[in-house]
């Protein structure tokens, strides 16, 4: 029963994010908006409820399956990727570096906040 409540909560945030994205015609995907709302709620609570933790752990077991569509896309659109290899490579490298820099900044800020609270 607890897992069902967790899945319902996760789907509720996803649907709420999708609704807001479509209602206000935002360029951000609804799944991202829902994830940010869930993140804000969890930060406000200061903990992860057991139901959400159990449901998300169940989903994480199958995370590798999410790479299957990307692999199929590479196989189907391989010719187009080869034709545009330079811009694709630059975009992937730039996005990777930006992700690393933002992640490092968030971690450094979090560590500073944690040290300030102690």
Q: Tell me the per-residue pLDDT of 61-100, one tens digit each, with 9 for 90 and over.
A: 998 898 898 899 889 999 998 999 999 999 999 999 999 9
Whole-number mean pLDDT of the chain?
94
What's residue 47's pLDDT?
95
What's residue 93's pLDDT?
97
Half-sphere exposure of 115 (CA within 13 A, CB side): 6
Q: Of 15-19, 32-36, 56-60, 92-96, where does mean pLDDT reach its minimum?
A: 56-60
pTM assigned to the model: 0.63
């Amino acid at each position: 029963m607890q897992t069902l409540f967790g899945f319902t909560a996760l789907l509720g945030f996803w649907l709420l994010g999708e609704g807001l994205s479509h209602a206000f015609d935002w360029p951000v995907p609804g799944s991202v908006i829902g994830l940010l709302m869930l993140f804000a709620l969890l930060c406000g609570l200061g903990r992860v409820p057991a139901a959400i933790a159990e449901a998300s752990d169940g989903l994480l077991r199958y995370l590798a399956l999410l790479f299957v569509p990307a692999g199929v896309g590479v196989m189907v659109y391989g010719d187009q990727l080869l034709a545009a290899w330079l811009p694709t490579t630059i975009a992937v490298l730039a996005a990777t570096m930006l992700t690393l820099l933002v992640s490092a900044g968030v971690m450094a800020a979090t560590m500073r906040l944690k040290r300030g609270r102690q």
